[in-house]
Structure 1
Amino acid sequence: MLTPNCSLETVSSVGSNMSIGCPHSSLLCGINMSLLVNVSSVDLDELCLSEDEYLALHLGPLRSPIFAPVCVTYLSIFLVGVLGNSLTCAVILRYKAMQTPTNLYLLSLALSDLLVLLLGMPLELWEMWRSYPFPLGEGGCYFKTFLFETVCFASVLNVTALSVERYIAVVHPLKVKSLSTRAHVKRVIVMLWVMAMICAVPNTSLHGILLLPPKFGRPFPRSAMCYLVKPTWMYKLTILISSLAFFVLPVLVMGALYFLIGLTLYRERGMKALSAMFGVDSVPEDHMQRLSRRNLQVTKMLCVLVVVFSLCWAPFHVDRLMWSFLDTSSQLHLMIFEPVHIVSGVFFYLSSAVNPVLYSLMSTRFREMFSHLTCPHYNWLNHSSLRLTQRSTLSHKATSNTKELS
């Protein structure tokens, strides 16, 4: 088969002879010959490209070159995250003793993480496997953007509300009965999710299905991508406001709250030492020690959760801000952005999987309940040992009381 003559001189002579060289090949490609008048050299280079070659030239490769390592990493996070968050939800919903105000916020956070892992991650992996066309249409594009924005905002709001609840429990314990009831916490959680959905609308409305413009009268329906379709200044403003309102400000608030909590716990320890020194003992010492240990353990766990949460979400917001102000025509900017985008994606999904691991490592109660749920044999042994411990304790107390009476 003869190679078409696509030189500029050949195309310029289209009017005199419609059957020579490249014009004939162009007709076979479905290109309107009247559109070949005054073509540039760049257009001429693209004239006889196949559709796959043309899409790869303008949209990049169909499959991400780093799909394999990212897929392995994501699937590892997926397995740990889905298992851990499912166990967290099951433990809190099954055991009445675990349905504390603090744990209800953790339940809401676990549901948010499950949505990210079960719905968000498969969509992103599919887009890395086939970058275009977007398979779910315009409605699917809105759903994807709305889902990501909603769970992002809901996660931040839940962690912030959790920090406020812990602050009230430690610093203002007298207000706990009125502000930390289960009914009150459930209302707050519903309000947080509604607020997250409302705040997700602006960025969702900026996205839609974007197609490459027709070239030489030839459309490209396979170029459909879920992308920004509104002016970039609107996107920049939206991302800047959301990063400040849903990351920078909450992190500062949570940092201040845990600083105050730390000061309060330090003062309580000092007051306890003074009480022991002067013989003031208004509350049984063992009871105070149990409350203090429990309070300290929960606070430590949540403080670590906030630190890990902030570290995992920082790359995500850096990625969004970089993309907002990125010069896409600069190869240097694109080279810098690519590793940031990969790292931000890994940390984003890691934040959805790490929380149950923290609960297991730092919370004795969660660790025991996870064991009860997953290991019935261990559950039976633990209950037996608990009953024996309680009997021996009661026997010891009875003996002590008998000695005192005698």
Structure 2
Amino acid sequence: MDDQQNTSSLWSDHLNPHFSVSNYLNSSEEYLAYMCGPKRSRLSLPMTLVYTAIFLVGVIGNLLVCLVILKHHNMRTPTNYYLFSLAVSDLLVLLLGMPLEVYEMWSNYPFLFGTWGCYFKTVLFETVCFASILSVTTVSVERYIAIIHPFQAKLKSTRSRALKIIVTLWIFSILFSIPNTSTHGILLQYFPNGTLVPDSATCTVVQPLWIYNCIIQVTSLLFYVLPMAVISVLYCLMGVKLRDDHSLEADKMSVTVQRPSRKSVTKMLFVLVMVFGICWAPFHVDRLFFSFVVDWTESLANVFNLIHVISGIFFYISSAVNPIIYNVLSRRFRSSFQNLLPPIFKQWKAKLPVQNLAPRKSVLYLPDCNQKSSAQEGSPSFPHRTSICSSHLSTVLIIFQHNIFIMLHKRDQERG
């Protein structure tokens, strides 16, 4: 009881450095509002609407990514295995983390899930944070090896190796989440006379704040600053290599649905990493801001609250935007997504291109009937192409027979 009260007073003094017995309020609701803030956030309604939109887009998109990779054998590449791991991480955040955070917006206290629920909440967010950045870093390293050392990549970059690395990444993520999780617990508020404030349980830091601050600073350095610096260097080197590599022209000509070009895959992953870094930057700024500030003022508290709201939005956007990037920049993902759409949408989407493009394509490809079917990658088959080519060949045959008939007729006249 005494240790709990001492921890409570330390936390309260950090957030309210000018608190004293003179600030004591008789109402437990007013006391809790003073010590822990309002029970319901003023932004609960608009934030819930924003989070709901992100939730729907993110869950549907990441489920499609997982289904595409599991269902299509040609999508089970080492690179896509890392993207599958990233999609699982995003789904955990959206399905388990977001509903809990929305609930806390509407009812900040009491925390209803007990000590183990608090541990689960903390370890979940920490684990997915570490797993996401490690997955992005690993796929960047794999892409670097594929560009700089392509022959070595073909020998070592296998699906079994990717699976082992992914399992290792998740184990490390869980282990590294333990230090921060150990600093959290259920905090109860007490009146100055020592009596317990009803419904005051909150899931927060219960250890000395300097321990929490050190953990946050170290993990932000190891799991954001350094990985993003390494990734930036790797993509700069890849950019130089791809720009100077003249063999890309031949690579572009040999692109098929089964084997996309190195440049297109690298471009998609570069955009993925760039968006990831932008979306996660406010999250780490929010944590570092809290860990470095010692003497809180009203203006600093207002800035922190603003950063906290922005970081939450961008944090969840990062979990929803990846499938959109795949659909826009990857032909393979785009065609695979379309195959998973309900039949009514596929039929509607298939009719429009055929009606608009079929006549134009038949004219453009008329001179070469045999080459057209193999050269048009991933294009829908138009049934009238064969008839056009057949009519063209039959016309040539008629002209040829007519010329032969004229030659024979002239020869008979000369003999006669």
- TM-score with structure 2 setting the length: 0.77
1:46 paired with 2:24, answer yes
Alpha-carbon distance between aligned partners in 1 of 2:155 and 2:261, rounded to the nearest angstrom: 21
1:210 paired with 2:190, answer no
For 2:115, the equivalent position in structure 1 comes to: 138
Alpha-carbon distance between aligned partners in 1 of 2:20 and 2:242, rounded to the nearest angstrom: 70
- Is contact 2:251–2:261 with CA below 8 Å preserved after alignment? no
What is the aligned counterpart of 1:321 among 283, 288, 299?
288
1:376 paired with 2:343, answer yes
Show CA shifts across 1:65-99 (max 9, x none): 11111111111111110010011111111111111
Alpha-carbon distance between aligned partners in 2 of 1:183 and 1:53, rounded to the nearest angstrom: 58
Alpha-carbon distance between aligned partners in 1 of 2:104 and 2:311, rounded to the nearest angstrom: 16
Alpha-carbon distance between aligned partners in 2 of 1:284 and 1:234, rounded to the nearest angstrom: 53
Shift of 1:57: 2.1
Alpha-carbon distance between aligned partners in 2 of 1:259 and 1:284, rounded to the nearest angstrom: 21
Change over 3 Å in CA distance of 1:360–1:202 after alignment to 2: same
Change over 3 Å in CA distance of 1:378–1:78 after alignment to 2: closer
Q: Which one-letter code corresponds to 1:334 in the other structure? A: A
Shift of 1:52: 1.4
Matches within 5 A, 1:87-126: 87-126=64-103
Three-state SS of the structure 1 residue aligned to 2:261 is: helix
What is the aligned counterpart of 1:190 among 167, 171, 184?
167
What is the aligned counterpart of 2:128 among 151, 154, 157?
151
What is the aligned counterpart of 1:332 among 282, 290, 299?
299
Taking only aligned residues, the RMSD between alpha carbons, in angstroms, comes to 2.7
1:79 paired with 2:46, answer no
- Is contact 1:316–1:348 with CA below 8 Å preserved after alignment? yes
Q: Which runs of 5+ in 2 are unaligned?
A: 1-18, 355-376, 394-416
Q: Which one-letter code corresponds to 1:78 in the other structure? A: F
- Is contact 1:209–1:227 with CA below 8 Å preserved after alignment? yes
Three-state SS of the structure 1 residue aligned to 2:288 is: helix
Q: Which one-letter code corresponds to 2:212 in the other structure? A: Y
Deviant stretches of 4+, over 4 Å: 288-293, 377-389
For 2:326, the equivalent position in structure 1 comes to: 359
Alpha-carbon distance between aligned partners in 1 of 2:338 and 2:255, rounded to the nearest angstrom: 28
Percent sequence identity over matched residues? Answer: 48
For 1:300, the equivalent position in structure 2 comes to: 267
- Is contact 1:167–1:261 with CA below 8 Å preserved after alignment? yes
Matches within 5 A, 1:188-267: 188-267=165-244
Shift of 1:285: 8.3
Alpha-carbon distance between aligned partners in 1 of 2:378 and 2:306, rounded to the nearest angstrom: 53
Q: Which runs of 5+ in 1 are unaligned?
A: 1-40, 274-282, 400-406
User: Which gives a bigger RCO, structure 1 or 2 (Cα 8 Å, sep 6+)?
Assistant: 2
Change over 3 Å in CA distance of 1:54–1:323 after alignment to 2: same
Alpha-carbon distance between aligned partners in 2 of 1:327 and 1:285, rounded to the nearest angstrom: 56
Alpha-carbon distance between aligned partners in 1 of 2:280 and 2:23, rounded to the nearest angstrom: 44
Three-state SS of the structure 2 residue aligned to 1:133 is: coil
Question: What is the number of residues matched between the two proteins?
Answer: 343
Alpha-carbon distance between aligned partners in 2 of 1:75 and 1:289, rounded to the nearest angstrom: 38
